[in-house]
Structure formats: C-alpha cells, structure tokens
Amino acid sequence: MDPSEIRERVLDDHENLRTRLAMVESLSQRADDGEVYALDQLRDRGDELCRKLRRHLDMEDLHLVPLIQETRGREAARQLAAEHREQRLLFDFVLSRLRDAERPTRLVCREIQAFIDLLRDDMDMEEEELLVAAERQRRRPDEGASA
C-alpha cells in the first residue's frame, strides 16, 4: 500500500469509527438518563466498537507504523506501536467495566464518555500530526528531484 492509500484507509476507518463512537455516546447518554434498554444496547455496541477498534489498530500496525518509521524514524514508529498496545489494554479495561452488571450505570456512562473523548482526541492527533507529517516528508524527495 502506498502512503496515499494508507492515508485514505486510515481516514476512512476514522470516519467509520467516529460514526460508531457517536452511536455509543448516544446510548450512553440515554442509559445515563435512565432508559432501561439503553444499557444493554450500550454493552452490545461497546463490545462491537472495541472489536472494530482492534481491527483498526491491527491495520495501522501493519501499514501506518512502517510508514511512520520510514518518514519520521524508528522512535516515532516505536511510540505509535506502544500507544497501540496501551489502547488495546484500555479496550479490555473499558469492556470489563461495561460488562460489570454490579457497576453503577452512571459511572459506566461517565467512563464510556471519557473513553470516547480519548479516542476522538487520538484520531484527531493522528490525522493532524502523523498522517500529514508522513505525507509531507514522503513528498520531499520527489520535490527535490523535480527542481
């Protein structure tokens, strides 16, 4: 996959994930407002979201991490891979809280909201910093050749 294809794939995944995040966020708000069936739906959609997020991280590990290593160096790639490992642990933690039937609904909903905010911030950072920088640095050698 070339850099522009990787960028498009990541952006498409992020768009899809943002849609899913909005759905989970809405369910969380409804559950927090006391809607009885929303918590069960939240658990189902939260589980589905984490599966999608894992597949997304797998794709990024396969394609984006090597691109980052090529364009920004080994340390930047190592940092991104480490962030992905931490995010997988966070998914497990959030799912365990979501599945805990004894956990108060309000607390579950607040944890889900914090999780969603973190994921949105991470996607924004990735788009603004990593993808843009990788594409810009990838183009530099070409620009010098055409001058």
Domain boundaries, the chain: 3-135
Higher pLDDT, 68 or 26: 26
Q: Does domain 3-135 have CATH number 1.20.120?
A: yes
| Per-residue pLDDT at 145 | 45
Residues 6 or more apart in contact with residue 43 via CB below 8 angstroms? 98, 99
| 141: pLDDT strictly greater than 90 | no
Residues 89/112, Cβ–Cβ less than 8 Å: no
pLDDT tens-digit readout, 4-29: 888 899 999 999 999 999 999 999 99
Rounded CA-CA distance 73/114 in Å is 31
Residue in this structure with the two tokens 């190592």, named with its chain if needed: 78
pLDDT at 133: 62
pLDDT-based confidence at residue 134 (cuts at 50, 70, 90) = low
Q: Residues 15, 21, 22, 23: is their CA dihedral positive or negative? A: positive
Distance CA 58, CA 54 (A): 6
Mean pLDDT of 52-72: 93
Which of left, alpha, beta for 104 (phi over 0: left; psi -120 to 50: alpha)?
A: beta
d(CA 44, CA 20): 12
Please indicate whether residue 98 or residue 1 has the higher confidence score (pLDDT): 98
Q: What is the mean pLDDT of the chain?
A: 89
